[in-house]
Amino acid sequence: SQTIHQWPATLVQPVGSPLSLECTVEGTSNPNLYWYRQAAGRGLQLLFYSVGIGQISSEVPQNLSASRPQDRQFILSSKKLLLSDSGFYLCAWSILAGADTQYFGPGTRLTVL
């Protein structure tokens, strides 16, 4: 069966510091991968998605970036965090077949102080 991992689970970072969040998927090949952000009490906002290694599409212009160095690894980064980057970051995967349902990881709660 497929599983998706995210780490760290929680992170507190000062403004201006770098960021690296990691997401890995097991049990499937060539998944579509997604990064979402959820502000407190709000819905999810799609940040990036990837259909293959090195292929990244950005949905929202911001100081975040994403990379996919391996088939089942998706990384969210920032060179300098802003206060507005605080939130709950969720990674998801899907297979482009049938319903193409997206399955989410446990998330990373980021607080920028």
CB of 76 to another protein, least distance (A): 16
CB of 83 to another protein, least distance (A): 21
Residues that bind another protein (CB under 8 A): 32, 34, 42-44, 46, 49, 51, 59, 88, 90, 92, 94, 96, 99-107, 109
Nearer Cβ to another protein (18/57): 57
**Backbone angles phi and psi of 90, in degrees to 5:** -120, 135
CA 78 and chain centroid, separation? 12
Tell me whether strands 32-38 and 44-52 are parallel, antiparallel or unpaired: antiparallel
Q: Which residue has the tokens 């899907």?
A: 94
